[in-house]
Amino acid sequence: MSNYTYDIFVSHSAADRGWVAEWLVPRLEAAGLAVAVSYRDFLPGAPLLDSIEQVVAASRHALVIVTPAWTADEWNAYEARLTQAFDPNARRRKLIPVRLQPCIPPATPLLPRAIADLVMADFTDARHWDAELARLIRSLRPITPPPAVRLTAHGETVRPTAHGETRGAARAGLNWPRWLSWWFSYHRWRIVGGSLAVLVLGLAASALIGWPTFAGWQSLGPPIPQAWRLYRAGDVLLVSTATDAAGCAVAGQALWRSADGGQTWQAINVPLRAAATGHACIAAAIMDFGHAASTPQTIYAATTNAGLLRSTDGGVSWARTGQAALPDELARVAVAPADASLVWAAGTRGGLFRSRDGGATWERLDQPGVCAGGGGALPAAFTVGALLATTDALYAGDWLDSPKPGIYPGPDAGLYVSRDGGACWQRIDSAEGRYGYVDLRQAAGAPDQLLALVKSYQEAADRYPYELWLLVAGQGRTRRIWASCHTAFGLAAGPRTGTWSVATWIGSVSTGLTDAPVRGAAAPCQSPLATLAGEDTVGGTLLPPVRRCAIPPLCFSDLAADDRGAAPLLLMGDRVYRLGRVAWPQAVWP
């Protein structure tokens, strides 16, 4: 029988529904295969036995997602036994087992001999999922032309249910994706091969002459392993690496420097402590940079395990400063724009410190009695997540990476401003008990406007976990101008008045104006697997994408001003990029 309603019926345990619904089924359907799954295609109220029998009979193949949970479910065993009844000798490969997790007795029951004897698709190692999926899809291609589908009067495909029911007036039509898939798999190879040869030659010729060109990201210099933070100080670009996670093997590559706009990079030796204990290694990494616009050659760096570093030659050489007064674990550093000797540093576990002499001596600001004028001191449990020094103020936003229930965040959490260098503070925005401040920037050309990138730890159904807020002096938070489902750490302002850019971990960069209307609907975010391929952002304009990381949680993104254009430089994965005009191969495969 070739006139099947479905190519595949996926038999799975309820415990494995997340992987099936979010990873497997979307990829099978993207390959042009018609897929049936119980949670979507079984009609509510219909007898379960009838639904299983009808969908198995209407499916060319049945995929059995083999896990310990599957073997323990009697309904799954029934689905497999029923499938084998349609193909007792497995000549038509009606039942195809897919091993997702190993089933090891006696912890889990033995697989039926009829299933154990079949060749399984092996998905037990996530590193090989894509290759195994391609192999599986090739084996599922139909060898006969797919039947016509039913189309509504508006041209929409009508998917039959397990009971063969459809809704609305319909007319016959072709399922073009499936027809093309069948055509290319089994027929007309000479014509197809000739067409592909002409296409390849044409593409090769256009690639050689570099035409046409499109907007895209140009890679600057060689890859930088474990790249983490991107920073500009005058004409110098700095990239720190995640040496605290990478270990002693790359402890000498904690910082890279470029003085020619990113064309060449030099590894800089920095005094980051690294101590080997048995087979373990503890090394520090640079979390944040700061410099005075009036003195770009003096740069400060906050580290995870080596306190504060200082360079007076534009990042060529570094020395530790303030060891006796500062904690080893620092989160942020800020420098007064017009005075390189006025510095603030914040610890990862609390504490805000100030130096008036370039780091030689320090005073702690979040202590009782420091504020003798108007306002008050920072809350006792305040942990700085974002720190910004402007010409007339110092801003500090708290970080909720490790909230303390019942203690912090409390009613005093939020974003604070100090007009006297950090002694007295006034809250200008509330964290609402759920926001942590990731980064702060002063809007270009608008000294009364502040950009705040925040993360929500208790996002509601109509919220995104990462948002960009606009705050105006005297008014506080005015509105949300951007939001995303993806982790965002890179924030840049300028160079034109009111412009901003945000980068996320999947390689997407959004840009916009602070006074532009916010576009997009505030819909709930899906799971990370479901949103990985999409952008799911509100506000701003998406720039061309950069190559996506294979494992996004292990990739970092950041932004820095570019002295050659309005768009910022982008750090993504292990490279620094500049937006420009690129030939079509690079635009298609950035």
Q: Which tens digits make up the pLDDT trace of 277-333? A: 555 556 788 999 999 999 999 999 999 888 999 999 999 999 999 988 999 999 999
Q: Cis check for the bond before 495: say yes or no (omega within 30 of 0).
A: yes
What's the burial of 129, exposed, middle or buried (CB within 10 Å: 0-12/13-18/19+)? middle
48: its two tokens: 């379960």
Residue 163: the pLDDT is 44
Give the pLDDT confidence score for residue 580 in this predicted structure: 84
Please report whether residue 288 resides in a domain. Answer: no
* Residue at 91 is within a domain: yes
Cα separation, 582 vs 548, in Å, equals 18
Q: What is the predicted pLDDT for the residue at 226?
A: 84
Q: Residue 14 corresponds to which tokens in the numbers above?
A: 């309820």
Q: Has residue 290 been placed in a domain?
A: no
First and final C-alpha spacing in the chain: 45
> What pLDDT score was predicted for residue 337?
95
- Strand ranges, E, within 211-358: 213-220, 227-233, 236-241, 255-258, 266-268, 274-277, 280-283, 286-292, 295-303, 308-311, 319-321, 330-336, 339-347, 352-355
Q: Has residue 323 been placed in a domain?
A: no
d(C-alpha 189, C-alpha 249), whole Å? 51
Residue 442 within any structural domain of the chain: no
Q: What is the pLDDT of residue 569?
A: 94
CATH number at residue 58: 3.40.50.10140
- The candidate with the shortest Cα–Cα distance to 262, out of 548, 487, 582, 577, is 577
**Cβ proximity of 178 and 142 under 8 Å:** yes
What's the sign of the alpha-carbon dihedral 378, 384, 388, 389? positive
Structure tokens at 192: 């197809």
Cα 236 from Cα 273, distance rounded (Å): 25
Asked if 415 and 464 count as a contact pair (C-beta separation under 8 A), the reply is no
Give pLDDT, residue 152.
47
- Which of 531, 583, 538 lies closest to 552, judged by CA? 531
Calpha distance 177→156 (Å, rounded): 14
Mean pLDDT, the chain cut into blocks of 10 residues (590 residues total): 78 89 91 88 85 87 86 77 76 85 70 77 88 86 55 47 44 58 57 79 74 78 88 95 64 84 90 60 83 96 92 95 91 96 94 95 90 82 92 90 53 90 93 88 92 82 81 90 88 90 88 84 60 69 73 75 88 88 67
d(CA 417, CA 385): 14
Cα separation, 560 vs 439, in Å, equals: 13
pLDDT at 317: 95
Rounded Cα distance, 534 and 241, in Å: 28
Q: What is the C-alpha to C-alpha distance for residues 170 and 318, in angstroms, rounded to an integer?
A: 73
Number of domains in the chain: 1
- How many other CB atoms are found less than 10 A from the CB of residue 280? 9
Give me the amino acid identity at 482. W
For residue 300, the Cα-to-chain-centroid distance in whole angstroms is: 28
Q: What is the pLDDT of residue 166?
A: 45
Q: Answer whether 288's CB lies under 8 Å from 302's CB.
A: yes
Q: Which residues contact 13 (CB under 8 A, 6 or more apart)?
A: 65, 67, 69, 70, 72, 73, 76
Distance CA 464, CA 485 (A): 6
In a domain, 106, yes or no: yes
Average pLDDT, the chain: 81
Q: Report if residue 232 sits inside a domain.
A: no
Q: Are 132 and 123 in contact (CB under 8 A)?
A: yes
- The first and second tokens of residue 495, run together, are 């160079």
Q: Is 77 helix (H, G, I), strand (E, B) or coil?
A: helix
In a domain, 512, yes or no: no
Query: Distance between CA 87 and CA 107 in Å, rounded?
Result: 30
- The backbone torsions φ and ψ at residue 343, rounded to the nearest 5 degrees and listed phi first, read -130, 145
* pLDDT score of 168: 41
Beta-carbon neighbour count of residue 12 at 10 Å?
Answer: 27
List beta partners, residue 267: 256
Q: Which of 300, 305, 328 shows the shortest CA–CA distance to 315?
A: 300
pLDDT of residue 157: 46
Find out whether 266 and 272 touch, Cβ atoms under 8 Å.
no
* pLDDT, position 189: 59
The residue range of the domain holding 107 is: 6-186
DSSP state of 376: B
Q: What is the CA radius of gyration of the chain?
A: 29
